[in-house]
Amino acid sequence: MIEDEEDNMRSEAQMMDLILSFAKNDPRVRVVGMEGSRTNVNVPKDEFQDYDITYVVTDMESFKKDDKWLDYFGKRIIMQKPEAMSLFPPELGNWFSYLMLFEDGNRIDLTLVPIDELEQYISSDKLLMILLDKDKRIQEPIIPTDEDYHVKKPSPEFFDDCCNEFWWVSTYVSKGLFRKEILFAIEHLNMYVRPNLLRMMAWKVGIETDFSISVGKSYKYMDKYLSQDVWKRLLSTYRNSSYEEIWDALFECHSLFRETSKFVANKLGYRYPDYDDKVIRYIRKLYQSKAEKRPGS
């Protein structure tokens, strides 16, 4: 373990040496893999990239019974073990993960996979690189690719469902605003309305790039593919600190969604639903007649 790492961030070479040296010296670790942004040549490199590492091991329980072995990787600021949490149900089945942020700023997301699930692990993610295979268990070379993360062409059903969900939940936002239930309105705008706008915008980007790129987790690369005007309009929908700002955000979402979804429908030969006019009229009526006092439900 490297001392005083809080003063100097360990380099990629140091971190990889640490990760591999532990695996080489521990007979329980038979295969080491890496996934995520560090295996993706299309992702810009920076110091905030996690080390998404998997140890395929022969004895899961001996690791899980005591966390002391994790001290080898450095002094931690905080750690999360998703598969040991109650509030957030685990999702990895027999796999077990340790998400660790260290004092020097490095982060390792380390997952343990039982050796008898090696094949399942290999097929779990195409952005996967094998760093160590002690027993030569993996016969075919694995070349990382981000193709599974590319924007996918929507089916007519997916397109229609996205439109329906966007316009349907828009009425919830307006109802919350009319009732002066600001947290209800914000939640439905943020969790349902805008995500479907972003989904539709990603499909437009997909059409314009022949569905050959990824817009990243949480649409983080979306700005690279939007005009400056559209990007500013999208960002304006995140102003949610007052009732009037949320009304404005909702109406901007409507404008952007209609423009984008009509483009997608035209390019893919899909039918754009005609109920948006009725929904907009309904919501505009609520906006214009909004009461100063909260009405009864």
The pLDDT of residue 145 is 84
Using one digit for the tens of pLDDT, what is the confidence trace for 35-92? 988 888 777 787 888 999 999 999 999 999 999 999 999 999 999 999 998 887 777 7
The pLDDT of residue 287 is 92
Task: Decide: helix, strand or coil at residue 33.
Answer: strand
Q: Which H or E run contains 186?
A: helix 182-188
Say if residues 153 and 210 touch (Cβ distance below 8 Å): no
Q: How far apart are CA 221 and CA 217, in angstroms?
A: 8
Question: Using the 8-state DSSP alphabet, how is residue 131 labeled?
Answer: E
Using one digit for the tens of pLDDT, what is the confidence trace for 186-236? 999 999 999 999 999 999 999 999 999 999 889 999 999 999 999 999 999
Say if residues 236 and 247 touch (Cβ distance below 8 Å): no
Say if residues 245 and 251 touch (Cβ distance below 8 Å): no
The pLDDT of residue 292 is 46
Q: How far apart are CA 239 and CA 244, in angstroms?
A: 10
- The CATH classification number of 12-148 equals 3.30.460.10
Task: Decide: helix, strand or coil at residue 10.
Answer: coil
Query: In terms of pLDDT, which residue wins out, 206 or 293?
Result: 206
CB atoms within 10 A of CB 231: 14
Highest-scoring range by mean pLDDT, 3-12, 191-200, 280-289: 191-200
- Tokens at 281, concatenated: 């009229």
pTM score over 0.95: no
Task: Decide: helix, strand or coil at residue 119.
Answer: helix
The pLDDT of residue 296 is 47
Q: Looking at domain 151-288, what is its CATH homologous superfamily?
A: Nucleotidyltransferases  domain 2 (1.20.120.330)
Using one digit for the tens of pLDDT, what is the confidence trace for 132-169? 999 999 988 888 888 888 999 999 999 999 999 999 99
Mean pLDDT of the residues in the chain: 91
pLDDT at 13 over 90: yes
The pLDDT of residue 45 is 81
Kindly list the domain boundaries of the chain, sorted by start residue. 12-148, 151-288
